[in-house]
Structure 1
Amino acid sequence: MIVHAPYARMLGIRTVAGEAGAATLMMPAAPSLEGRAGFLYGGVIASLLELACLEAVAQESGHPRPKPINMSFDFLRGGMMIDSYAQARLVRVGRQVVNIDAICWQTDREKPVAIGRMHLLLD
């Protein structure tokens, strides 16, 4: 769903199989995504987390166009120029607001590159 958005296509993001009840996306490394030498630009890591959150909402609650209230990302280590994965899970779905947690990793899910939280207003 969200992987068909122009920005997601530009980043090369695609859906991959993951845990039940969670949306998992993969972003292949590309020279155009490099920030400082040898590392992914932090903005594309944050974008991967955001898109995973939006995908989780679309898959789990059926709301294709929620409106962001706020986003928070914690960068835990530098993202190397290798494929990156993000998984998002709905924490709470209220009548108007949904809370989502996301994690981004590369080779080892137990060593995250970044984590994120997002709150979205449902239509």
Structure 2
Amino acid sequence: MLTLRKDDVLAAVKTNPDYIRPTDRPQRFAPGDKVLVRMLNPHGHTRLPRYVRGRVGVVQRHQGSFVFPDTVAHGGPELPQHLYSVRFEAKQLWGDDASEKHSVYLDLWDDYIVAAK
């Protein structure tokens, strides 16, 4: 397991590492596409919030391809994937009492989402 010592934090933050990586995987979604967030329950680190699992959102933007943090956090391979900005209506996440004026945008990796029906 990699450990970052307290004395090294400032230097690590200042290095601003680049996590952009090319991938051979095709881009699966475009702005306007409806996507369903997969119901995943991985062991360990994930960037997938529980409150969006099983919910439908709309792709707003393709952000590019990046290192997949779920594997890298455990010292595994980079496994670059496409990253999408996905918009969720507040009502979709928190029910009818949520404001129609509010929404949440999340950056979600390819492995987290599938095309919604």
What band does the TM-score fall into relative to the shorter chain? Answer: under 0.3
TM-score (normalised: structure 1): 0.25
Greater share of strand: 1
More helix as a share of residues: 1
The TM-score with structure 2 as length reference comes to 0.26
Larger radius of gyration: 2
